[in-house]
Structure 1
Amino acid sequence: MSIPFIRNHQYNVIKRQTEFLLRTLRTVADRKVLETVRYRAALTITEAFPSLTEDQRRMLERISTFETAYEFQNYLTDLEAYVEPYPPITEKQIQKLFPKSKKLKVPDLQAIDFRFVTYLGWVDVATNRLFIVYPHEGKFIGIEGRITPTNKKGYCMFCNRHQELAFFTVKTKSALPDNYSSIGQYVCIDNPACNQSIADTGSLEKFIFSVLK
């Protein structure tokens, strides 16, 4: 039985290194350069994990032995069995995270492949609000704010992908009673694509926890 140990953002690191290594094999003939790239690809992948068993490390480091697109694709397909899905969540749990949103429109949870989700995000077009649910230490954190399309491309704070952006503004409560401020960042309009690209949760968590202070 496969025991999941790869989170979505780590799987994205693996995909990125697989694509880079395959592209290098197709364009570079120097064997020394190729060996260096192979080594760096395997190292980048293993460094994305805080801890690994020896079997897990060997499984991931297989990337350095492949030559063909078929082998790389099989590698990624095999690793899907070890991807740890987003924790189970229900519509009622989501609604409790946003008690002020009485008519909250929750996405169709049955249609989501939660293996490839780092954060659950969706836009309520009627209110121009972005909702984010993030799992942390066995609990779910919910934040919401206004989303404003910018009609320009740039780098998303969450996934660092160059894509069409929107400005996400979240109100935060200060230490003074009834005194509010706001924090804003540029993020992807396309949340599923953002999840498929995010390779590090640092910026996402920094933003979420700055809102909660």
Structure 2
Amino acid sequence: MINPILTVANVRLIEQQVNKILNSKSLSKDPEILSAVKGIAVAELKEKLPVATEEILRAVTQISDRTDAELFIESLKIYTIPFKAISEKGLQKLFRKDKKLKLPKLETIDWHGISYLSWADQGTHRQYIVIEKDGTFIALRGISQPQYYTKGICAICNQHGPVHLFTATVKGNEDRYTSYSNYICDDPEKCNAHVTDYKVLEDFVTRNLV
């Protein structure tokens, strides 16, 4: 029986390093340069991903082309701990203050492909984010502000691309409210594809809950 050891973010990190190697192959035919890039990729994985087996590390250096890479990443699913599937009732409990909560189409979600669940209600401009921490779901609700659409660095995945302002308002002492605004990816699916460090995601959510 195979024991899943990788998070979805771990798999994205491996995919990131594989892409670095393939990009290097397309830019240079110098074997020394390619060897150096492979060495850097393996070193980064060893540093950031101690659970990576020698088999995985060896496979990373043996990827020959995009098709090979896609097959390899697909093969990692059996080692991957998926995002814990949540039901509509579960989401309603997390966001119980929203009486007319608009829910995402849960049947279309690939739980092996996301580090967090997010969707928006275009009518109210509310955006919802759900993560897992220590076996518990943590919910964050904010206002998505498309009028502040731009290109920049996402606070969740740290990648450059189309982003919009996400503002969460929290209640503090003496009934005072504080708003926290961050730019995040306009497309949660693409953002999920770039999340390679789950700790950054956790920090983003918990920081906005303070």
- TM-score, normalised to structure 2's length? 0.91
Query: 2:25 is matched with which residue?
Result: 25
What secondary structure, in the 3-state scheme, does the structure 2 residue paired with 1:35 have?
helix
8 Å contact 1:170–1:184 — kept in the other structure? yes
| Distance (whole Å) between structure 2 residues aligned to residue 4 and residue 16 of structure 1 | 20
Query: 1:41 is matched with which residue?
Result: 41
8 Å contact 1:46–1:61 — kept in the other structure? no
What secondary structure, in the 3-state scheme, does the structure 1 residue paired with 2:5 have?
coil
Cα deviation code 1:21-50 (max 9, x no counterpart): 01212322222222111111122223332x
Query: 1:163 is matched with which residue?
Result: 161
Between 1:194-203 and 1:133-142, the stretch displaced more is: 194-203
- Relative to structure 1, the CA distance from residue 184 to residue 38 in structure 2 (aligned partners, 3 Å threshold; closer, same or farther) is same
Query: 1:52 is matched with which residue?
Result: 51
The letter of the residue matching 1:57 is E
Matches within 5 A, 1:33-112: 33-49=33-49, 51-52=50-51, 56-112=53-109
Matches within 5 A, 1:130-149: 130-149=127-146
The letter of the residue matching 1:38 is K
Measured after TM superposition, the shift of residue 193 of structure 1 is 1.1
Query: 2:149 is matched with which residue?
Result: 151
The letter of the residue matching 1:90 is S
- TM-score, normalised to structure 1's length? 0.90
Give aligned-pair identity as a percent: 31
| Distance (whole Å) between structure 1 residues aligned to residue 200 and residue 38 of structure 2 | 28
| Distance (whole Å) between structure 1 residues aligned to residue 177 and residue 190 of structure 2 | 32
Between 1:68-77 and 1:121-130, the stretch displaced more is: 68-77
8 Å contact 2:18–2:69 — kept in the other structure? yes
Cα deviation code 1:119-174 (max 9, x no counterpart): 10000111001101110001000010111012321111111222221111111122
User: RMSD in angstroms over aligned alpha carbons?
Assistant: 1.7
8 Å contact 1:46–1:57 — kept in the other structure? no
Matched pairs, number: 209
Unpaired runs of 5+ residues, structure 1, are none
Measured after TM superposition, the shift of residue 57 of structure 1 is 3.2
8 Å contact 1:158–1:201 — kept in the other structure? no
Unpaired runs of 5+ residues, structure 2, are none
What secondary structure, in the 3-state scheme, does the structure 2 residue paired with 1:46 have?
helix
What secondary structure, in the 3-state scheme, does the structure 1 residue paired with 2:6 have?
coil
The letter of the residue matching 2:51 is L
| Distance (whole Å) between structure 2 residues aligned to residue 199 and residue 192 of structure 1 | 14
- Relative to structure 1, the CA distance from residue 68 to residue 212 in structure 2 (aligned partners, 3 Å threshold; closer, same or farther) is closer
Measured after TM superposition, the shift of residue 70 of structure 1 is 4.1
| Distance (whole Å) between structure 2 residues aligned to residue 48 and residue 109 of structure 1 | 31
Between 1:123-132 and 1:7-16, the stretch displaced more is: 7-16
Runs ≥4 residues deviating over 3 A: 66-71
Residue number among 114, 125, 128 corresponding to 2:111 in the alignment = 114
Between 1:130-139 and 1:81-90, the stretch displaced more is: 81-90
Query: 1:173 is matched with which residue?
Result: 171
What secondary structure, in the 3-state scheme, does the structure 1 residue paired with 2:104 have?
coil
